[in-house]
Every structure is written in C-alpha cells, then in structure tokens.
Chains A and B, each alone.
Chain A
Amino acid sequence: MTTIDDFVALLRDELGLDVGREDLGRSLDEVAGWNSIHLLALATRLERVSGRPVVLPELLKAGSLEEIYAAAVGP
C-alpha cells in the first residue's frame, strides 16, 4: 500500500467502511461505522499489506483516518 487511495480501498474492503477521501480528515468519532476495535484489525492489515511493522502506540493516538495513514506509512 503506497497511496492514500490504496488506504481508502483498504478501509472499504477490509473493514467494510463506507468511506471516501473526504472522510479522512474527520475525527474518528464522526466516521460512520467506526469503532475502536477497527483500529486493531486495521493495524494487522496495514502490516500485512505494507510488509513493515506499524508503531501501535502512534496508531492508538491518531484522531482521524488521515493520522492513522500517516502513522502507518510515515517515515
């Protein structure tokens, strides 16, 4: 996974979330269908598709899908 569009596709396919790019900046509380359990499932999937470990505490601190993406693919 390299692009933000790949990330959106992952959210839709893996978690069944009906989200688009416009939802990425929202607070997680405002993302339709999001719950905290999704984060753990997402962390596992992100590691599998990107082939590198994610820093879970960074993901847990993220307040939006955008911040999750940044934590997962960031330097």
Chain B
Amino acid sequence: MSVERVAELFRAGRLAAEYPLVRGLLSAADGDGLRRAGHVLERLRPDDVLREHPDTSVLTVAVIGHGTVGTVVPVLTAELARHGLLMRPFLGDFQGYVVELGDPGSDLYAADPDLVLCVLDPAVVFDEVGVPWRVDDVERVLGEKVRLVERLAARFAETARGTLVLNTLPLTSHATAQVTDHRSRARLGAVWRAACSDLLRLGESNPSVVTIDLDPLIAEGIAVTDQRQSLYAGQHLSAELLARYAREIGHLARHLAGLTKKCLVVDLDGTLWGGILGDDGVEGIEVAGGYRGRAFTAFQRTVKQLASHGVLLAAVSKNDLGAVREALDKHPEMTLREDDFVRVIANWRPKHDNLRELAGDLNLSVDSMVFADDSAFECGLVRRELPGVAVVALDEEPALHAARLLADGWFDSRELTVEDRSRPRLYREELVRKDFLDSFASLDDYLTSLDVRVRLEDAADTHVSRISQLTLRTNQFNLTTRRLQPADVQAFAAEPGRRVLAVRTSDRFGENGLTGAIFVRVVGEVLHIDNFLLSCRVFSRGIEQACLLAVLRHASAAGLREVLGTYRPTAKNGKVRDFYTRNGFVSVDGGADGGVDRAADGGVDRAADGRADRAADGGADGAAWFRHDLDEIADPPAHVRLFDGLAVPETGGTAS
C-alpha cells in the first residue's frame, strides 16, 4: 500500500531522493495512513530533500501553544507532503506561547517561521478561573486572554514576516455541565462565543493573523478532548481534532506556497447530472427531479458557489458538444448554464489531452487544476498521465459529491479580492481574445487592433491584498517568485526609498484589473528592481516592456546611474529568463560579488526590518543580476498606450 511504500523508501534510505513521489503516494491516504506516514516523514531531514530536489517548496512551521501540541507535528508533516510541500518544524515549549510570541528575541522569532500555529485550548481559561468558579470569572479570564492574544499578535506582526494562525476555543459539556442552572449555562455559552468571535475578527485588524474556526470541524463528529490525555499529558485537544486541524493548515500552507488551485474541471454524466446524455437525451437526464436529481442539483449549486469565488469552471465530457450545449441551455431545471463555464469541452478524446489543451488555452499550469469525475477509470487515467492535477474521485452516490469536492479546500485562500470575483468573466473574455487572435494574419495586426492600455501607478493601500495575491498565485511571469503576505507588501512599501508599483491593464474587450506589480528600491545611485510580476492572462502583449521602459525613464529622470534587475530561476518561470536581456540589460556575472555592490544591498537595515527585506532578498539562491546603464532607453511598443501615473518624489533618490 502507498503509505507502506513511504516507510519502505525511508528504511532503504531513498525517501529524500524519491520525495517527489510522496505526494502521489499520500494522495488517497486516510487519516490513519497520514498519521503513520507522518511518523516516518518527520524523521526525514528537509535539507536532504532539498539537496536532491532544490525546487521543493519548503515552509518553516512553528507549533506553539498552551498545552502539549507536538502531536500535530507528524500529521502536519504528512499533510504538507501530500501537497508536495516540505516542512521544517519548530516546536515550542509546553505552555510557552506567551513568552515565545511576546519576546522578540525568542527562539521562535529566530527560527523565522513562515507559519506559526498558536494552538489554543479551553484550558487556557479553565486553568485560571480558580475553584469554585462562576460564569463571571470565566468572562473575566476570557476577556484577559483575548486582550493578551491581541497584544501577542500585534507583537508578532511587528517582529516577524510570517502568518500567525490562531483558533477558536471549543466549549465542551465538561465545562457547561459544571454549571447546573440553565440560565447561567446559557450565559456561559454566550460569553464564550463572544470571546471566540473576537478571536475570529482579529484577522480583520491584524493582517498577519488567520483564525481557524474549530466549531465546523468538530461538527463533523470529532471529539474535542480525550480526558486522560488532557489530565495526564497536558494534551487538551484530542489527537483526532489536531489531525483535522492539520488538514486545514495544509490547505493554508498550499496557498501560502503559491499552490492554490485555480480551475475546477468537472465531468458531466454522473457528475453534474444523472444518466447518460447520449442515451437518455436532454429530457431523460436527472437534473433536479426525483431523489437523485435533488442531489445533482445540490452539487451544481456547490460548484456554482465555488465559481463565484473566482474558481474557473470548465467541463470535460465524453459527449457530443451539441447535445451538451442543448442540455446546459435548454434543460429547465439546470442550475449551471454554459455561461458559468469558462469552457465546455465535449468530445471523444482522452480527458488528459483535453485538460492539457485547456490549461494551454487558459495560460495556466495543469498543476493548478482540480478534476472531478464519477468514473474510476477516468480518475485513474488522469492521475497517471497528469500527476499534478488534483483528482476528486466521485462515485455513484451523488449526495456525497459536494462533500468530496469540499473536503480538501483546494481553492482556499486568505482573502478574496475584486479580481477574484470577476476572474471567470476575465478568462471568458480571454478566450474570446484568443479566437479574435486566430482571425488575424499576424500577431502585430492583432496587437494593434487589441488597443492595449496600461496604467502604471504607485500601489495604494487598497491594492495590497491583490498584489500579495499576485505574488502567491503567479508562477510564470514572476522574476523572483518571492511569496509575500499582505503585511510583507505593506512593509516593503513603507520603507524609505522603496516603492511598489501597480500595473492595471485594459483593452478593447474590457478591463483586466490589477494584473501586475513591480517592487523597486533605490540604493545610492542605483535602482534595484526586486521583483516584477504579471498575471499570466496578460503577458506577451508588450505590457511588460512598456512598464519596464517606464521604470527606466523614471530612473533616468531622477538622475540615477543604473538599474539592476534580478531573476531567480524556478521550475516555472523559465519563460522570463531573458526578460531583462531582451530589454537592453546586460548580464552581470553571477556569484556573491559579481560586480554587484552586495554591501549596499539592503544589508544595513536587514536586521531592522525582516518583512521589508523578505521582498528585497535575492541573490543567494541561483539569482542572476542584470544591469541597464540608462544611456539608451528603447522606445516602448507602439501598440501599447501607457498612462504613467507614477508620483514624482519630492526629493531625489527614488524611482521617479
């Protein structure tokens, strides 16, 4: 079995070398299997894996809390491995979270974690209420703890660059049953929920915080506490609940590592409706009528709900396209209509070929796709041919389709942006553009008639979420692939001499929204371009040249001597390897000192502000440097209209 294979590889000393296989081996593992695999995987040294596979995404995850929380480490290691990630763990001391978060010199901060899981449990409160306690005592301690956690979270935001994960405190009958009158018991529930509510709202005011609501997880039927493990070992949340929590953290980690899925591809017969369209006809399929029809409608509603959050929906079905279109357009009970899909593909080709082609048309990687099908054959084939695609295996029970699709939070993200809401429309327009392109004899004719407009401006506070998201989602046109949380973006922009530029684009088909960002920094007489990102929807239309040349013109006007750009290779950004050299830059010999003044490279303030330097950091990991001496700046592409909204600084020394 797959989990045993992980153990075998470990015993044979080959697990690090074969780490890319682990994701597939664990893809169908149940909770028990993940726990067992976790005990093996936690013994694997991340550096050994990185030596063999330097492109593996690695996250440093700290686990701290009030009680014994180490149980979460192995299962979390397996959950991250299941998504192809590698975890570097840091385990805090028993009851150590206050000191660890509160002291900027703590080992926790020294570990420079990407994620800090501060696992809170009911004992945080009941250890301090004394005996006998009244509901007033609980209310008082809850208030103190919430304020404490707020202060610790603020300290975290000032000190660290990562994400702090809190959780709500579960209230158990073990507590409520110790209050014997119903009036007080109800009040206990009310004050408890009010405190949890404050914890849940903390992320609204502190962008470093994510709060996991444990109630919906517990409602799946998971015991909150094992009294013996709580009393004897200080583990106040059950191993089952910690494992379920770890699964949620896996989804968050996948998002933070830039691996959020973007496109949901569904089968039709047996998946969106019952029956076989080709045999039963449009009138004969089960859509809403009857018991099973009800289940298919429920699934369609769930799919539509996900699509409203910016998930691109496509259908791939072995059917005749005409019949499928008729079913989607004409069936009176259908919830999903053709307009809800960015593309409906119905033909008789292998599904993996259709998925590959769809990914190409949408300019996405197949790894960003989730495929849901009720046929074990089709699921197996896609798994084998396209191992990066997440396969949701459905079966003949449509009532469980939605739960299976939702079980893995494939599309979870931190925050929804305006662009997310309109993404499906934008991609549909993109496919129209592609058809438009196909009607032109040359690319130049096409670009000229496309009427591309670009607005380059300093990023405003309202752009921070979207720019962070671009750093998290963009893999191809991403010169350094530094993943930045919203607070990282803010911190970068707040530093003197540093600017974050926002790129907004539109064309004859409509607005594309905020599709790019440029991170720049002035050191002495040199402008550094720390990162340059552009959504895969809009590159190769001259937008990137127009923006880069505008930055060069601003640098020249500000009297700067030269511009340095950085490129850090990853598995997915090979396309932009020569971006700088194609635009008048020359390669600076690599290496640590290679002609680039590394001492001036933010070194002085590196210790002072970890967040800002997270964005600026470059060079140590295969990064290449390119220089433009500003003597000759090329003309921008004629077909692009640039609206230069960059503020000119009051004094010299920034990009303008």
Contact with B along A10-41 (1 / 0, CB 8 A): 00011111100000000000000101111111
Asked if B73 lies at the interface with its beta carbon under 8 angstroms from chain A, I say: yes
The answer to whether A60 and B233 touch (CB under 8 A), given A14-B36, A40-B239, A41-B71, is: yes
Contact with B along A39-73 (1 / 0, CB 8 A): 11101100000000000110010000000000000
Cα separation A17 to B74 with both chains bound (whole Å): 13
Cα separation A38 to B71 with both chains bound (whole Å): 8
Contacts of B36 in A (CB 8 A): 13-16
Least CB separation from B11: chain A residue: A18
The answer to whether A56 and B43 touch (CB under 8 A), given A16-B10, A37-B70, A41-B71, is: no
Verify A16–B239 contact, CB threshold 8 A. Answer: no
Verify B7–A40 contact, CB threshold 8 A. Answer: no
Contacts of A56 in B (CB 8 A): 228-229, 232-233
Verify A40–B43 contact, CB threshold 8 A. Answer: no
Least CB separation from B7: chain A residue: A16
Verify A14–B233 contact, CB threshold 8 A. Answer: no
Cα separation A60 to B68 with both chains bound (whole Å): 14
Interface residues of B in 94-126 (CB under 8 A from A): none
Verify B70–A35 contact, CB threshold 8 A. Answer: yes
How big is the A interface, by class?
Answer: 10 to 19
Asked if B39 lies at the interface with its beta carbon under 8 angstroms from chain A, I say: yes
Cα separation A56 to B39 with both chains bound (whole Å): 21
Asked if B40 lies at the interface with its beta carbon under 8 angstroms from chain A, I say: yes
CB-defined A-B contacts under 8 Å, sample of 8: A16-B10, A16-B40, A37-B70, A39-B233, A40-B235, A41-B39, A56-B232, A60-B233
Residues of B within 8 A of A (CB): 7, 10-11, 35-36, 39-40, 43, 68, 70-71, 73-74, 228-229, 232-233, 235, 239
Select which of B10, B39, B71 is within 8 A of A40 by beta carbon. B71
* Smallest beta-carbon distance A36→chain B, Å: 7
Interface contacts (Cβ under 8 Å), in number, total 44
Verify B229–A38 contact, CB threshold 8 A. Answer: no
Contacts of A15 in B (CB 8 A): 36, 39
Verify A41–B35 contact, CB threshold 8 A. Answer: yes
Most buried by B among A15, A16, A38, A41: A16
Contacts of B73 in A (CB 8 A): 37
Verify A40–B229 contact, CB threshold 8 A. Answer: yes
Least CB separation from A17: chain B residue: B39
Least CB separation from A14: chain B residue: B36
Contacts of B43 in A (CB 8 A): 16, 33
Verify A36–B70 contact, CB threshold 8 A. Answer: yes
Cα separation A40 to B72 with both chains bound (whole Å): 12
Interface contacts beyond A14-B36, A16-B10, A41-B71: sample of 11 additional A-B pairs, CB < 8 Å, sorted by A: A13-B7, A14-B39, A17-B39, A36-B70, A37-B71, A40-B68, A40-B229, A40-B233, A43-B229, A56-B228, A57-B232
Contacts of A16 in B (CB 8 A): 7, 10, 36, 39-40, 43
Cα separation A60 to B229 with both chains bound (whole Å): 11
Cα separation A17 to B7 with both chains bound (whole Å): 10
Least CB separation from B36: chain A residue: A14
Cα separation A44 to B239 with both chains bound (whole Å): 9
Cα separation A60 to B235 with both chains bound (whole Å): 13
Cα separation A14 to B75 with both chains bound (whole Å): 12
Contacts of A57 in B (CB 8 A): 232
Verify A38–B39 contact, CB threshold 8 A. Answer: yes
Select which of B10, B11, B74, B228 is within 8 A of A37 by beta carbon. B74
Most buried by A among B10, B36, B39, B71: B39
Select which of B11, B232, B239 is within 8 A of A60 by beta carbon. B232
Cα separation A16 to B42 with both chains bound (whole Å): 10
Cα separation A14 to B235 with both chains bound (whole Å): 20
- Closest 6 A-B residue pairs measured CB to CB? A16-B40, A16-B39, A37-B70, A56-B232, A15-B39, A56-B228
